[in-house]
Amino acid sequence: MSDQPQVDEVSWSRVEEGFFVGSHRGNFIGYIDRLPSESYVAFDAFSRDIGTFPDRATAMAAVASPPVPDQKPPQW
Protein backbone atom coordinates (compact mmCIF):
# COMPACT_ATOMS: atom_id res chain seq x y z
CA MET A 1 0.00 0.00 0.00
CA SER A 2 1.30 3.44 -0.92
CA ASP A 3 2.08 6.12 1.66
CA GLN A 4 0.56 8.72 -0.67
CA PRO A 5 -2.79 9.91 0.69
CA GLN A 6 -5.97 8.90 -1.09
CA VAL A 7 -8.75 11.47 -1.08
CA ASP A 8 -10.97 9.20 1.02
CA GLU A 9 -8.18 8.65 3.58
CA VAL A 10 -7.67 12.34 4.30
CA SER A 11 -9.29 13.83 7.40
CA TRP A 12 -10.38 17.46 7.26
CA SER A 13 -10.91 19.74 10.23
CA ARG A 14 -12.64 23.09 10.07
CA VAL A 15 -10.55 25.56 12.03
CA GLU A 16 -12.84 28.49 11.36
CA GLU A 17 -15.39 29.51 8.76
CA GLY A 18 -13.86 28.83 5.33
CA PHE A 19 -10.53 27.50 6.67
CA PHE A 20 -9.81 23.76 6.73
CA VAL A 21 -6.69 21.71 7.48
CA GLY A 22 -6.07 18.24 6.12
CA SER A 23 -4.23 15.30 7.60
CA HIS A 24 -3.37 11.78 6.48
CA ARG A 25 -2.69 9.15 9.15
CA GLY A 26 -2.17 11.95 11.65
CA ASN A 27 0.29 13.91 9.48
CA PHE A 28 -0.51 17.44 8.33
CA ILE A 29 -0.74 17.58 4.52
CA GLY A 30 -1.99 21.10 3.85
CA TYR A 31 -4.87 23.50 4.14
CA ILE A 32 -7.45 25.44 2.16
CA ASP A 33 -8.81 28.92 2.72
CA ARG A 34 -11.92 30.51 1.24
CA LEU A 35 -11.40 33.78 -0.57
CA PRO A 36 -13.90 36.69 -0.60
CA SER A 37 -14.82 35.57 -4.14
CA GLU A 38 -16.07 32.27 -2.60
CA SER A 39 -13.33 30.28 -4.40
CA TYR A 40 -10.72 28.39 -2.38
CA VAL A 41 -6.96 28.62 -2.40
CA ALA A 42 -5.08 25.44 -1.50
CA PHE A 43 -1.66 25.12 0.16
CA ASP A 44 0.57 22.12 0.71
CA ALA A 45 2.19 21.09 3.99
CA PHE A 46 4.96 23.67 3.44
CA SER A 47 2.45 26.51 2.84
CA ARG A 48 3.24 26.57 -0.88
CA ASP A 49 0.33 27.73 -3.03
CA ILE A 50 -1.11 24.80 -4.99
CA GLY A 51 -3.73 26.87 -6.77
CA THR A 52 -7.14 28.50 -6.61
CA PHE A 53 -10.21 26.33 -7.10
CA PRO A 54 -13.90 27.07 -7.69
CA ASP A 55 -15.16 25.00 -4.77
CA ARG A 56 -14.11 23.38 -1.50
CA ALA A 57 -14.21 19.78 -2.77
CA THR A 58 -11.87 20.52 -5.67
CA ALA A 59 -9.44 22.38 -3.41
CA MET A 60 -9.45 19.52 -0.91
CA ALA A 61 -8.79 17.01 -3.68
CA ALA A 62 -5.82 19.09 -4.86
CA VAL A 63 -4.28 19.06 -1.38
CA ALA A 64 -4.85 15.31 -1.08
CA SER A 65 -3.24 14.58 -4.46
CA PRO A 66 0.34 13.31 -4.50
CA PRO A 67 2.90 16.07 -5.15
CA VAL A 68 4.52 16.46 -8.54
CA PRO A 69 7.71 14.34 -8.46
CA ASP A 70 10.11 17.27 -8.92
CA GLN A 71 8.59 19.20 -6.00
CA LYS A 72 10.90 19.21 -3.02
CA PRO A 73 10.32 20.66 0.43
CA PRO A 74 12.03 23.99 1.05
CA GLN A 75 15.46 23.86 2.61
CA TRP A 76 15.34 25.52 6.02
In tens, the pLDDT along 10-58 reads 999 999 999 999 999 999 999 999 999 999 999 999 999 999 999 999 9
Number of residues that make up the chain = 76
Cβ-in-10-Å burial (0-12, 13-18, 19+) of 57 comes to: exposed
Straight-line distance from the first to the last Cα atom of the chain, in angstroms, rounded to the nearest whole number: 30
Q: Which residue type occupies 29?
A: I
What pTM does this model have? 0.77
Strand partners, 12: 22
pLDDT, greater one: 9 or 37 = 37
What is the spatial distance between Cα 61 and Cα 8, in angstroms, rounded to a whole number? 9
pLDDT recorded at residue 2: 47
Q: Which residue type occupies 23?
A: S
Element (H, E) at 63: helix 56-64
